[in-house]
Chains A and B, each alone.
Chain A
């Protein structure tokens, strides 16, 4: 997919988030470019998830401007908001699937909400998405409670991709997955980015994911973001960033990425 413009897909300016007396984000800026995989990292409680929730409009900040696809998220009219919802997908931790619906029905929810399509067509689209994320064909009839953690996340991703969005937001997608499943999920994101031209906004703790698939990484320190490629951040001398990337886990992740190929997206059991 060619770049439609050099305008960033998501633009955050001067974001301030405060809960009670605690200021989580202060004067935070961010640009997310089309087609990139951006990883958001930061200490526990630094406000990574809050940032994601604010960008998709679930959280109202104290101050700041958020533009997605050029629309002001905070001041959007209902119609504008509906347009945004068609162009993005969100994967929450553990999938956040609707527990009384099957996987296939879950995937159909965004389609039903925004379009009037015959049921058979929706079933077909749903089945395609289920296959796209590497779930077996019979997963569609299962209920979320019958799925393993890894399968739930993939099902959640299938729902996030239901309307062929341009950007997906992932909230700690590999949390709680075993290393094989986590590697599989990384590979899945990489493949989907390559084949669908997705832009990915990924909040994560997982160093391996960062090294494996992120083009740029934004580190939440001092209530702001420091953004750069991994090479740039590895040279950064901020104490927290240094500790993050050059601690024992960081060095292991680097070495692993350098030495081994990430497993291709496969039918590996998750």
Chain B
């Protein structure tokens, strides 16, 4: 299997220069093995009756049924002269020979049993890992109405098999890596060779290989190590729990990274606009998909700027508000004792508290949050004269807008982005808002994802890619892969041939 490529390099089997040999007697081996594993209590040592074989393993990492059926059962009544004889009797798929003690210990930690025959210089390593994984479930963070519902779980093998089930192509390439000097977690880079750009694959591989850390527990942590600019607040690579979304991106020429023990795949390169696209847009009619995308853009504008515009208008530019609206506004603000900036920050802060509480609370208690937050505090705040009615509407609108974003990571950024802009609006009015906007624009222009521009396809302008960014045209118009992935193969299908076929 591909996981073992790196560990079992053929160099380890050269007997002449063995620095770390297998001990010759059973007692020594037992001591050495236990010593290296700090005499943990879950080390198992089975002496198999007459055969002269001893089996070492870590009890908690191996599959018990397989251990009995496939290892002990076939060899318990036989006797052996050579370790190679044992090999013939074992009905286990993944068996390796090794004469290095370090490798023996390492593989014991990966769910191998060590079959040891006294007097032999090498041992057998048979892989029978216990499977600790939950069953596959429905995607809960990125829900779709139309489209497949399945989500990744925490097992790397299962996740790769999910992707392989979608893309049955020999070009789908899986490259393994191991990260973390202590956790030694395995992961895989996936891409379509022949579509994905070589240069990007090399960059990503290099970035992952250069990581030096004791442990990485989730792909979201790995992502922070391999991002182009870790100082930016914006997510420069995306995380997704949906295998179909990963496949969609793989086919566009992007790279995916999966990590053992994590249910999220990293996708790069990723553009700013793609955070506002959901796979569902391509599952529905193109008109409806376009509407969704435009809706999300408006929501983005609302959630970042609406509260700030309110603050700026009330504080500095009341001339801008039409007279009829001004009347209701002043009426509702008449009892509010605070300046608008305090009023807005207070309510935004309150909303963030609600959201955070909702996310951290157990699901059963979470439902009450809605009642407490929405009805009790909301109306009470207005009645007590803390805030104005209109601000509550605006803040609710802004909050809704930030939840519309399909990517949770981007949603977080949008919510936090509001605060500095509200403060700027409170100090400098419209000028402050524009100042914030210009800063964000320049900041976004400076970012890149795996070396490709973050604001593609707007800048650098690739007008052909606009057809599938803010809007979504019918599939027959979008046969070109996005250029920011620098694909080796530009077209999804031959456009002219497709036209010919359509003709009756």
Say whether A associates with B: no
B interface residues, Cβ below 8 angstroms from A: none
